[in-house]
Amino acid sequence: MTVLIDGKAFAKRLRDFISLQVADIKSSLGVVPGLATILVGEDPASEVYVRNKSKQTIETGMASFKHTLGSATSEAEVLKLIAQLNADDRVHGILVQLPLPRHINAEKVINAIEPAKDVDGFHVSNVGMLGTGQKAMLPCTPLGCIMMLRDHFGSLSGKNALVVGRSNIVGKPMAQLLLADDCTVTMAHRYTEDLEGHCRRADILVMAVGRPEMIPGDWIKPGATVIDVGINRVERDGTTKLVGDVDFKSASLVAGAITPVPGGVGPMTIACLLFNTLTAFCRAKSIPEPEEIGFSLAEGVGIIREFKQAS
């Protein structure tokens, strides 16, 4: 039977782990990790995303610093705020919600964030460190995908992985993470010939192109694991429905495991943002990182207790 990879349940496990670590840090050090968010403009979807991020930040016991700026805010004003947050010891992670208004250069803004506080993993330094196998802040969505894959497989070594989509936010870093876990990785895009053939050979298929249900079930290798990053709104029978880049109904009859849309990769993105903020705090304080403890094995294990035991 096909295994449903429940991202919503996985994200809750991750948030519970983070809450435990934050409580341990607070009781031992008297401080907590802090996440600053910057929203420029009045985009409704962005407002919802930032509100959810701030809410979950507070629920895990972290400090939330929310900065909402008008759409007429200049690029210079945004850069000034980032400089202030870079220097603020209470802030360990900085997130600028995209997209930004057209008069603001997003690349310039992202690269103004201190790389150690770049919890989105978009800074050119973090991109370069990921690509060269160094310790970097990892983009949240690919991080969530690789966490779920590791949890499902244990070891990814030797798996044939296909990543469809080559964006800087998902496709490219996803390929780097799969390579780091010893997969044989193929990247596909709009110019790829015989996409169907590549899909049929993949043990792991990661879809991240934003085209509703473009991959049918008969393209998928029997028993393969499908990670569907796509979130597409389609009109069906007079109602709006969310679907992925894979035709879930037909794919679930063939795949060995699959993420649903919604409820798969989506919930992991914010959870991994909080994970990155905790990681940034630990690196700043020179204490064990959450990845070093391993959240799947960490019931009742706190970061500070782990640090004391190792000392």
From the annotation, which residues make up the binding site for NADP(+)?
Answer: 165-167, 231
For CA atoms 238, 241, 247, 252, the dihedral sign is negative
Q: Is 237 a catalytic residue?
A: no
Q: Check 97, 159, 176, 181 and give the catalytic one.
A: 97
Q: In DSSP terms, which residues pair with 77 in a beta bridge? A: none
Question: Please, which residues have CB within 8 angstroms of residue 69's CB and are 6 or more apart in sequence?
Answer: 38, 39, 40, 41, 77, 78, 81
Which amino acid does the sequence have at 247? D
Residue carrying structure tokens 């393209």: 219
What are the b/e assignments for 165-184, b being 16+ CB within 10 Å? bbbebbbbbbbbbbeebebb
For residue 16, give the H/E element and its range: helix 7-29
CA distance linking residue 243 with residue 236, whole number of Å? 11
CB 121, CB 276: distance < 8 Å: yes
Q: Check 24, 120, 245, 247 and give the catalytic one.
A: 120
**What torsion, rounded to 10 degrees, do the Cα atoms 43, 49, 53, 56 define?**
130
Q: Is 97 a catalytic residue?
A: yes
CB 77, CB 35: distance < 8 Å: no
Q: Check 21, 53, 159, 203 and give the catalytic one.
A: 53
How many secondary structure helices (H) and strands (E) does the chain include? 12, 11
For residue 187, give the H/E element and its range: strand 184-188
Q: 140-153 vs 266-285: helix axis angle to the nearest 10?
A: 100
| Binding-site residues from annotation | 165-167, 231
Which amino acid does the sequence have at 252? S
Q: In DSSP terms, which residues pair with 233 in a beta bridge? A: 242
In this structure, what token pair is assigned to residue 161?
Answer: 């992985």
Q: Which residues are marked as active site?
A: 53, 97, 120
